[in-house]
Structure 1
Amino acid sequence: MAVRQAKPKDKPYQLSDGGALFLEVTIAGGKRWLFRCRFEGKQVKFTLGAYPVVSLAEAREKALEAHRQLEEGKNPSIAKREAKAAQAIDATNSFELVAREWHTKELPRWTPKHAEKVLNSLEADAFLFHATTNINRPMSENTLSYAMGRMGYSGTATPHGFRALASTVLNEEGFDPDIIERQLAHAERNKIRAAYHRAEYLDDRRKMMQWWADFLDGQYL
């Protein structure tokens, strides 16, 4: 399939790769993978991701997995939603575990009243926000600001302030400015270049954020 050569037309269209896998091209030139099949006599269609974030090889592997599910008598569209729901639950549990560990670590610095207030705010707001947020998208600044306000930091600190602090410290430590910009979600508008940068800097970003985590931990030792 000539994915790169597929040009937009005056209306959306689809190109078949065989095996129920299709590439949909929008009027604006966007491309996404679709899987189309029949399950129990009904038409089933769902997305497998956008190109080039999901490559042709990856789309074919996803389509193959959908065929395996069909052979097992499963609706691949429902299986996909169930997998996302399970992933969301795992992410929420991980977030709560880290938050509770952080709360325990901060106890020596806080009064009992403040510690209780922070924990109650986390349980009432932050954990709930994480559970109801699309795990494939970052939380909005408004959501984070509200959660921080409920934890008692209103007028003291803001999400944007943390971003500015991180940028200043990381630049002073000599980290590559391009890597810092990518980590701060100053996104590349060109989708192809964005996918390239995401892959190119991923390892460096992990190392940088580990340094940042160690740096923050060191401020309270």
Structure 2
Amino acid sequence: MSLTDIKIKQAKAREKIYKISDERGLYLEVTPTGSKWWRFKYRIDGKEKRLSLGVYPDVGLQKAREKRDDARKLVADGVDPSVHRKAQKQARADANANSFEVVTREWFEKQKKVWEDSHADKVIRRFERDVFPWLGTRPIAEIKPVELLAVLQRIEKRVVETAHRAKQNCGQVFRYAVATGRAERDITVDLKGALTPWKEEHFASITNPEEIGPLLRDMYAYKGTFEVQCCLRIAPHVFLRPVELRLAQWREFDLDDATWEVPDERMKMNRPHIVPLSTQVVDILRELHPLTGDGDFVFRGRNPRGAISNNTVNKALRGMGYSTKNDITGHGFRAMARTVLDERLRFPVDWIEHQLAHMVRDANGRAYNRTAHLDGRREMMQAWSDYLDKLRVSAEEAHAKL
């Protein structure tokens, strides 16, 4: 006989557990404490099994029957309802573990190790304020371009620049998710042109050889600590981003092979990068090694266990009388190399772009590996150092005649 709400309410606790049957495998189990549990008895693969459907009255009679019917459909399809439930629970757990916020914070913990504290704070606050409230709990693999665009457009109404920076950061997170097997692709590539154009302010740079020589002369005459002197002298030769240079560690160098391998976690594009070293750079490093080679960082700062600060090179340039807003910045050596290597020394643009660690793709759209054009880049880096030395020596000789 089928159960009714009255029968269920009248069921009293006994010394032992007992059950009251409904129909088609559904029954109510009453415990000695008075709790009433819905159970579904079914048979699959020749075995009798039971599935819990909830507690009465949280789950009423009608809802219990609906759950039973859903379970019966699974059994009819050859699916064990208990196994199905465990799989769903695991899927929910996986989705939570792969939520946009979880993946972002994991990526952030890795990146902040090579960032200035102020920059790291800006990045995570941008996510917490403008992105997590709308996308934080979403499984990152399920987020659609249109969803992300809606979030970015909300930011855009306030500040266009912030929207572009948020898009850039989101792209980095998606690429990290792809690399760690939690997303199929970086959806930010679908948003090209979707935001109001914004032109990023370029770093000040000197690209005229007649001005590069005097700059190098002044840099070689700088009277700061020897670590900073060496960093200044190397910077234009390797033209890396300031953070990639200042955090250099001795274990990354093979001076005998004249090669520097910068690890992916310190590179902007999250890809390891090879820097062929000219004889001039190797000589500077060998001269510096007796001073800082007993530690991790090549350019050791005031803290013996740390590196020079992110502002050290720019501060030194300002101390020489150069404006880091209008003349030259530590980042400006990249534009210097890009322009002169192309326009004056006539090296292939592909070689230059690879050495700048820009994302360069082949005809099939695939990113070149880090060793692409390595022999040619080694030749280029030596020619570049020779050219810089020539400009500096000429400037020193001209200055000596004054």
If the TM-score is normalised by the length of the shorter chain, which range does it land in?
Answer: 0.3 to 0.5
Higher radius of gyration, 1 or 2: 2
Please, what TM-score do these two structures have when normalized by structure 1?
Answer: 0.44
* Structure number with higher relative contact order (C-alpha < 8 Å, ≥ 6 residues apart): 2
Structure ranking higher in helix proportion: 1
Structure ranking higher in strand proportion: 1
